[in-house]
Amino acid sequence: MDTSTEGFLHKSDPMRIQYALFRDQFGRDEQLIVAVKTNSIFDLEFLERLDGFHKALESELPHIESVDSLINARNTSGTQDSLIVDDLFEQMPKDKKALYIKEKLAKKILYSINKKNEKILFWMWQLGNKAALKELLKKSRVNFYTLYAYETANKNFFIKNKIIFNTISNPKYDQTNPWDVLKFWDELKKRKDLFIFAKELDSNKSIALKAIVLDKAFKYKYNFFITPKIYDDKNLTFKSFVYAIARQESRFIPASVSRSYALGTMQMMPFLVRHYKGDVFKQFDYTINIKLGAKHLKWLFSKLRDPLMVAYAYNGGIGFVNRKVKPFFKYKGKYEPFLSMELIPFDESREYGKKVIANYVIYNHLLLDNNLTLHKLLKK
């Protein structure tokens, strides 16, 4: 798969030609990944061959800055007054006993790093580690990885939906005012008494802001999925998807503006607003912005049909999906579609798709109370 930036440009594009000339003069900074297959990495014969391969790459392949593999993986340990960093296989094991000690140390290092990372736990589970699934099921925060684990184990997840009791008629900040939103983010960084701050925002006029404060106050352990009355559609399945996008794009803050000037609850780019005959200067009105976003989503569904592909396209554009995603994406096969999802070229789009379809499942449960699951969405 070509994941290079220049791959998005035609070979005759002037910018790509200039970039090629620049690289010819100054060199490249790309990473090459070589996969080596074995039944067990902790095998003396395999490690000897890997060691030889590693050294051959370092010494015989021109223009290589560095080589990283299990051979030079770092082992960091500490004492009361010092930090010790060395290569895990600085001394290659000579017998099975020495190899067993290295294997235990490597697994200890991996587990200490990975037990807090849901993505790595998920992949350890997919590779057959049942303890990793148990660790995932201990997580209270719902995301793509934990949700899939909950479904597998038939475990319920807790969602906090109702957070507004309208005890404040005029909240401190108005979420439809971009200047208020800027001040809100600034105050959020400084405030220590977050629960009091949340009470100051207890109004439908600031529901999105209160949800963000509560998220931080509870140290992101709980799941706040608000359903503000901002969009009405008889098709509740589609409405669930609109809410899934809105949550990911802006956390439902109407006066959101991105660095690339995407506007409003649905983060509509100005050129798209104009394409759908909208008024760029009215995008902080969620009733206007969300209708335009829904219109664009309906068009994407008419072309792609698949909710996951639509999510990728909403983030990166339909051209990106047609050129860089669909031709390589697989729903069937070992570790699929998860492997294909991890190979989406851009980090932002890669994670965006996972977050949106997890949101989609959750909003389906909130709005329809139906049995849509990630398992069903990802099974083709």
Q: Which of 95, 114, 133 is the last residue of a domain?
A: 114
Containing structural domain, residue 65 = 31-114
Q: Residues 333-359: what's their mean pLDDT?
A: 93
Q: Give the separation between CA 128 and CA 125, rounded to whole angstroms.
A: 5
pLDDT of residue 81: 61
Q: Is residue 206 in some structural domain?
A: no
For the segment 41-59, the average pLDDT, to the nearest whole number, is 90
Which of 42-46, 110-114, 130-134, 320-324 comes out lowest in average pLDDT? 110-114
Which tokens belong to 285? 């009105």
Compute CA 339 distance to the chain's CA centroid, rounded to the nearest angstrom.
Answer: 14
Longest dimension (CA), the chain: 74
Per-residue pLDDT band at 5 (split at 50, 70, 90): low
- Residue 184: exposed, middle, or buried by beta-carbon count in 10 A (0-12, 13-18, 19+)? buried
pLDDT at 2 over 60: no
Q: Between residues 294 and 102, which one has the greater pLDDT?
A: 294
pLDDT tens readout for residues 311-340:
999 999 999 999 999 999 999 998 999 999
Q: Is residue 296 part of a domain?
A: yes
Kindly list the distances between the CA atom of residue 197 and the CA atoms of 180, 303, 317, in Å, as whole numbers in the listed order. 15, 44, 38
Task: Using the predicted structure, report yes or no on whether residue 375 has a pLDDT greater than 80.
Answer: yes
Whether 233 has a pLDDT exceeding 60, the answer reads yes
Domain total of the chain: 2
DSSP strand pairing (74-78 vs 83-87): antiparallel
pLDDT in tens, 207-232: 999 999 999 999 998 899 999 999 99
| CATH label of the domain that carries residue 284 | 1.10.530.10
User: Residue range 29-51: average pLDDT?
Assistant: 84
Q: At 77, which helix (H) or strand (E)?
A: strand 74-78
Of 114, 132, 157, which residue constitutes the final position of a domain? 114
Q: How much is the pLDDT for 149?
A: 97
pLDDT tens sequence across 73-120? 776 666 556 666 667 777 788 888 888 887 877 776 666 655 568 998
CA dist., res. 163 & res. 202, Å (int): 8
Structure confidence at residue 150 (pLDDT): 96
Give per-residue pLDDT as tens, 238-289: 999 999 999 999 999 999 999 889 999 999 999 999 999 999 999 999 999 9
Provide the Cα torsion 9, 12, 18, 23; round to 10°.
70
Residue 15 binned pLDDT confidence (cut-offs 50, 70, 90): confident
Q: Which of 164, 273, 267 is CA-nearest to residue 210?
A: 164
Mean pLDDT of 41-68: 88
How much of the chain, in percent, has pLDDT values that exceed 70?
90
What is the pTM assigned to this prediction?
0.76
pLDDT number for residue 99: 84
66 burial via Cβ count (<10 Å: 0-12, 13-18, 19+): exposed
Q: Determine the pLDDT at residue 111.
A: 60
Residue 181 domain flag: no
| Residue listed under structure tokens 């309208």 | 166
pLDDT confidence band for 69 (50 / 70 / 90):
confident
Has residue 359 been placed in a domain?
Answer: yes
HSE toward the beta carbon, residue 323, CA cutoff 13 A: 14
Are 194 and 213 in contact, with CB atoms under 8 Å apart? yes
3-state secondary structure 244-306: HHHHHHHCCCCCCECCCCCECCCCECHHHHHHCCCCHHHCCCHHHHHHHHHHHHHHHHHHHCC
In a domain, 104, yes or no: yes
Phi, psi of 29 (to 5 degrees): -130, 35
Q: In whole numbers, what is the pLDDT of the chain averaged over residues?
A: 88
- Would you call 124 exposed, middle or buried from its count of C-beta atoms within 10 A (0-12, 13-18, 19+)? buried
| 34 pLDDT higher than 90 | no
Amino acid at 71: I
CB 116 within 8 A of CB 145: no
**21: in domain:** no
Among 48, 83, 114, which residue terminates a domain? 114
Same domain, 240 and 373: yes
Q: What is the C-alpha separation between 268 and 286, in angstroms, rounded? A: 11
Is 147 among the domain residues? no
Query: Of 291 and 221, which is predicted with more confidence?
Result: 291
| Beta bridge partners of residue 87, listed in sequence order | 74
So what's the pLDDT on residue 89?
Answer: 75
Q: Is 244 domain-assigned? A: yes
User: Over pLDDT 90: what percentage of the chain?
Assistant: 60
pLDDT for position 83 = 61
